[in-house]
């Protein structure tokens, strides 16, 4: 067994499945370990799992279409916010967890102040993974 690469005996699909059970940073780190991990880390099977299940709907709502050739490119492309819903909202994926993040335009918010409604200033962030609102 000494000096033998045990992973080279596994089919690439099996390694892709194993990597898909980790996180995006773990897949990137694993790709530096050996050539079979690097090859498996390019698989759409892995990156499809890290994308939100409703990503086709979100992409259809995008102001500017994204032209990417793989699920990996799409994942990394969505780490930076894209405008959706006629520019009234932005969407991105959280780098470490792959959770969905939305940012609402101030014009989308109505805040009641003493019985009157005013448009809030600043931005409101919703991280769906943690279900928490952050105001800035």
**Predicted confidence (pLDDT) per residue in 56-95, tens digit:** 999 999 999 888 999 999 999 999 999 999 888 999 999 8
Placement of tokens 């709907």 in the chain: 57
Average pLDDT over every residue of 27-52:
91
Of the listed ranges 50-54, 79-83, 104-108, the one predicted with least confidence:
104-108
Q: Nearest 10 degrees: CA dihedral of 83, 73, 23, 96?
A: -40
Contact predicate 101/91, CB 8 Å: yes
> In the numeric block, which tokens belong to residue 129?
């993974």
Mean residue pLDDT of the chain comes to 81
Record the pTM. 0.73
Lowest pLDDT segment from 11-20, 67-76, 82-91, 110-119: 110-119
Three-class SS state of 97:
coil
**pLDDT recorded at residue 126:** 52
Q: Provide the token pair at 3.
A: 């000096």
Output 127 or 66, whichever has higher pLDDT.
Answer: 66
């Amino acid at each position: 067994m000494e000096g033998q690469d045990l992973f080279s005996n596994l089919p690439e699909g099996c390694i892709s499945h194993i990597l898909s059970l980790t996180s995006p940073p773990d897949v990137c780190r694993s790709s530096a370990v050996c050539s079979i991990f690097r090859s498996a880390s390019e698989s759409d099977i892995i990156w499809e799992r890290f994308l939100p299940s409703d990503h086709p709907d979100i992409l259809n709502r995008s102001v500017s279409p994204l032209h990417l050739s793989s699920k990996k490119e799409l994942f990394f492309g969505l780490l930076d916010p894209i405008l959706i819903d006629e520019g009234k909202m932005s969407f991105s994926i959280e780098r470490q967890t792959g959770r969905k993040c939305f940012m609402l335009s101030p014009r989308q918010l109505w805040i009641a102040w003493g019985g009157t409604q005013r448009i809030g200033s600043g931005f409101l962030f919703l991280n769906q993974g943690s279900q928490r609102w952050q105001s800035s």
